[in-house]
Structure 1
Amino acid sequence: MLAGGKRAVERHTVVNKKLLVRDRLKKIMDKDSPFLELSKTAGLGMDYGNFPGAGIVTGIGWVNGVACMMLANDATMTGGTYFPITVTKYIRAQEISESLHIPAIFLVDSGGVFLPLQAQCFPDKKQGGTIFYRQAIASSKGIPQIAIVGGSCHAGGAYIPTMADEAIIVDRIGTLFLGGPPLVKAATGEIVSEEELGGASMHCRVSGCMDYFSGNEEEALSSCRDIVASLNIPSEEISKDISVQLPLFPSSDLTALSGVEERDRSTTLEIIARIVDGSRFHEFKPLFGANLVTGFAFLDGQLIGILGHHGALTSADALKGCHFLFLCDLRGIPVIFLHNSPLDRQTSADSHPEDLGIALKDKAKMAATVSNMQVPKIAVTVGACLEDDCYTMCGPGFQPWLNFAWPLACLSMKQDTEDFKRWKSEMKDFNVEAGNLDFDFPVGSAFHASCNTLIDGVILPEHTRKVLSLSLSVIRQGQETIKRKQVTTSAVLRIVETVTSKTTHVQAGHPTLTPDRKTHLDELIRNDRRLTPDK
């Protein structure tokens, strides 16, 4: 159905070089996936005209074997703008997504509300802002909200991706702002381009409103499929696709990486590539928060979230960490923290006190998020865990379920690490397995922390994957046991068989025995040698 007509389709595909809405859906869904389209005739016969499909395509399709609700703007219909019937159709799709508890995927390409009818789009309970309200409610119920900005996303519609759990934007095609360049010029006199005001680079690098930067639509749709694979929603197709694979790079490389003095983002990614299945890592917000790497991966078939830092956390890093940890907690995904603080932590000389205060506030938020997470948390110090990184990155005081460190690691609340640096140079040839304990381990070293039970052990770098795999296995077993446990209101009650072959439950504590009951117990003791004291 060419809802907007041939001229609109030509402008959309040839001039704007964008995929049609149904082509987008085909590329995001599994091959040969059925598509249960909803409300196809919505928008016909309205008082204000005929608008086929109401300018939006909604329906249920399968992505990586997971049933998802698709809500996709048709930009060939008056630029994808919203009519009152569009809002009604949109909200109905959200209601179905919520009642079925299936993820919602928003393909955003809209100029906002159709201005001549805007008065009919906002006042009622089931119009306008209800879309954003339902996004928030669904997310709080653990129903994933995913958005792709593949065109205009202006005015009130800009709230859809910014209120999503995860959002993708296409470079040079997607734009996001409340008021466009003409409005900015009219209000302030400033001349600014759409890219400068709300382009992909700005929102991924500066504002942080978008989580994933995509060079083209195909990359964005593929990224969305990766997000669905990381939702921790069981599906037959996912279980077939994630057969356990060894990392593509040898674990022996980790020994060399453990001795690297200056670590950066690439070093963190190299460590991850030698730990996770198939060296595959779906990074979250890669362009925002430069000192913190976050993302999803599989380890021995178990979906995990990973946070690894390689510098002092900034405000952007902390906000990124909060967002990622909240997603992991919401989806029940275990989290691995890779500690890697720089030994020489320096505050920039041109940092303003206000900026430092904002960073402190945001790092406090991250520390609070770490404290209140319910999912398993495992920490591995691969380099150092210093100062307030011990808080934000789940150091010993924040009770990780298991906590390990590499031999040359440093854990300290002090910035003065000169003693550790000297000791570290002596330790490079130290053989952990030989059990040489002649060293005087300085405060802050991994061995000192292990000796004082601040961590759960020192592990060889090449054993990291094996140790994490065993840890996850043990945690998984414990969680299954908890699921099977029936809720009780007291301790285990001992059961005593009486001489009348009836069962008597002796209550916890010291109950008063009735004469009849006391007689039964005395007779039982006399007739059972196991209960008679030795003479």
Structure 2
Amino acid sequence: MDANAPEFGANRDAMLAKLAALEAEHAKAVAGGGEKYVQRHRERGKLMARERVELLLDEDSPFLELSPLAAWGTDYQVGGSVVTGIGVVEGVECMVVANDPTVKGGASNPSSLKKGLRAAEIAAQNRLPTVNLVESGGADLPAQKEIFIPGGATFRNLTQASADRLPTVALVFGNSTAGGAYLPGMSDYVVMVKERAKVFLGGPPLVKMATGEESDDESLGGAEMHARVSGLADYLAADEEDAIRIGRRIVRRLNWRKQGPAPRTGYGEPVHDPEDLLGIVPEDLKVPFDPREVIARIVDDSDFDEFKPLYGPSLVTGWASLHGYPVGILANARGVLFSEESQKATQFIQLANQTDTPLIFLHNTTGYMVGREYEQGGIIKHGAMMINAVSNSRVPHLSVLMGASYGAGHYGMCGRAYGPRFLFAWPSAKSAVMGPQQLAGVLSIVARQAAAARGQDYSEENDAAMRAMVEGQIEAESLPMFLSGMLYDDGIIDPRDTRTVLGLSLSAIANGPVRGTDGFGVFRM
């Protein structure tokens, strides 16, 4: 790769522009409910959600924030009124979930719910303790029809985590009402802030309406009452900082031990400069690029043992280590997956399962090859072999969408529906059933054939307008911010951070055992 080439410079400039746009959207999530509500929150002497997270984590330790653009493209605040991510507390990697009370009092909307459920899924898959930083008025009532039924999974997940010996800790800083009261009620450990925490199924107005009883906040659900009378609070904190101190000490006493392999020591950083990752992916994703250039900038010592390099060259496979963790890598080289690539991937995934080696999928694929020659050659059954292997593989999978990720190629490369432990996207990524021009072209052909079958003339002017409209829609819906807003990934990352993000993910994965499968089912030959 020539970092001085004009193409490299153009790619770099395009990527930096995408990163600037991404930073602007992240700023919306950080801003919470806006200056007015942030100021009101501070005037009450309260910390912001991200400040609470920062105090909870070990000093100078990383925080892998997840789904920061949840709700992007909807009527809800970017970020989904909740902060989620993986951080280190007293040396223990924990899933941290913090309500943002500056956004409608921390009320949960459909995006908040999906974000919280995804965080719980990650915690369960990777055996992570969970610390909830609670201040929420419950459900965003106008959206209750989208929250109530699926929202019950939040409490089911808490109780199942406890049964699976995954500790759950609730630090309650303010209101935790209605359904939100069950969050501390179903946690293993509960800390409440004196004179601030309010936990009740129904507040004074609802109690008055339901029973006619007159009551006040403190006697109905105050922190001191729950610590002295109901027993819901295990610890009574003097203030927010004290609650966080107590929470850290709870985690410290968990006697937590990782069940997965420890990373090897003595590895080196990549020989090639990760800064180069900005200029590798062309802005036009129809232009191919060599994923080995990416691999050389994310793996330890830039040391990569390629597997089957002369067979199925459109897919690069091989072995490496990343932050001391052994990994197998599958990376698309020329976009299209042929029968040879599918068979190569199937064998490689089987080998990784035999050696209990996690797999990293680097996406840049337009899907499986179509056409008479390839159909007759068995592309369906060979693609099915690859998807079978991905579906039944039991070693942890991590996916990074670098460029295109279209059609069944998205599935074969372990897209969201195939349960990767983590899935991240670069700002250059696009994902859809097919490319915008291809999809619009297919619709145009179908419309032409339908008109001919009816004996009608076909309007070229209407066809051009239809194609432009469809291409614009598919282009917008395949962009990473749109997909991230729907939680189809776990976050859009700066390409230069890929090694760090994957390293943090592998470390989190190692909290649980890493074992391959004993069987894959029937492969069609």
The answer, yes or no, to whether TM exceeds 0.5 is no
TM range (shorter): 0.3 to 0.5
Larger radius of gyration: 1
